[in-house]
């Protein structure tokens, strides 16, 4: 069973030696909540996390968020961050371009993500038609403008911490060795993108991240504040949109706490800055 203990070891020095070759293996940004992510060689972190991460979201006619939990076909919506804006594309549907800055006078709407109501800008026209064609239901795209502040739960964050349309936290960290351990237990092939991480860390022992409280990635300090409880999105094949039972079924056999299955760590960065693949990871505590 998963141990939620935060004990990082007897002293700092042994950890520092053990983690001498731990580094960032991969960085991911997910511009549209629940659509496909993008692997980045480097990334800039702003107040909400990796720049453009979950700044857009798909909503229904009532302004409530839609995810792969309800519409697994969102996995087929590929995203690209170009010079002038976001591109969405999917086989059979074609593509649609969305500018980074919504047009002046765009409709402001209140949308809901979990229990949070946020002011957003509705992206209508071609984007709405494209999403409705992909999903077969009435759906539209919304954007979180700079002036909208969605605070992180104060039980885990200091005043001023904010997040975009991610479920609750600016960053999600997954250990490569943890994923490899899980993949070895599951009969079918898995890709780490099922877990929608922002940082993949290599060189540490399986599930070592469970015990980390603060790390330094490159020059940025990051607090690992809460294990991530996993949902049915992990059972959606990112390549096909097909759903199944894995890896949740296997995770539940050894990573269950109460009624929740834990994998990866939710995290909050201390300040904006830059990260890149290969940056060293140091455990601060």
- What is the mean pLDDT, run by run of 10 residues, along the chain of 285 residues? 38 45 97 98 98 98 97 98 97 96 92 98 95 96 97 92 97 98 97 98 98 97 98 97 98 97 98 98 96
Degrees (nearest 5) of the Cα angle 79, 180, 172?
45
Torsion 210-212-214-215 (CA) sign: negative
pTM of the entire predicted model:
0.92
Residues 6+ away with beta carbon under 8 Å from 170: 48, 49, 53, 152, 161, 162, 163, 164, 267, 268, 269
Which domains does the chain carry? 12-283 (2.40.33.20)
Distance of alpha carbon 220 from alpha carbon 234, whole angstroms = 28
pLDDT at 279: 98
């Amino acid at each position: 069973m998963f141990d939620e203990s935060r004990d990082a070891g007897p002293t700092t020095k042994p950890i520092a030696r053990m983690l001498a070759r731990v580094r960032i293996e991969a960085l991911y940004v997910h511009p549209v909540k629940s659509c496909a992510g993008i692997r980045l060689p480097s990334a800039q972190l702003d107040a909400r996390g990796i720049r453009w991460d979950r700044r857009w979201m798909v909503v229904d006619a009532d302004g409530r968020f839609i995810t792969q939990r309800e519409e697994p076909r969102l996995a087929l919506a590929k995203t690209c961050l170009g010079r002038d804006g976001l591109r969405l594309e999917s086989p059979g549907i074609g593509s649609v371009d969305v500018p980074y800055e919504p047009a002046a006078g765009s409709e402001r709407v209140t949308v809901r993500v979990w229990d949070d109501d946020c002011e957003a800008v509705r992206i209508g026209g071609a984007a709405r038609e494209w999403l409705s064609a992909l999903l077969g239901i009435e759906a539209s795209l919304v954007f979180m403008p700079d002036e909208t502040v969605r605070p992180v739960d104060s039980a885990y964050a200091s005043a001023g911490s904010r997040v975009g349309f991610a479920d609750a936290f600016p960053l999600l960290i997954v250990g490569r060795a943890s994923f490899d351990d899980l993949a070895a237990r599951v009969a079918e092939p898995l890709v780490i993108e099922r877990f929608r991480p922002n940082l993949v860390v290599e060189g540490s022992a399986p599930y070592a991240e469970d015990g980390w409280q603060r790390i330094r990635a490159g020059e940025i300090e990051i607090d690992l504040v809460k294990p991530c409880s996993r949902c049915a999105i992990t059972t959606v094949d990112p390549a096909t949109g097909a759903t199944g039972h894995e890896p949740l079924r296997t995770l539940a056999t050894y990573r269950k706490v109460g009624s929740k299955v834990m994998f990866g760590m939710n995290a909050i960065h201390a300040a904006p800055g830059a990260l890149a693949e290969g940056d060293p990871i140091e455990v601060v505590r």
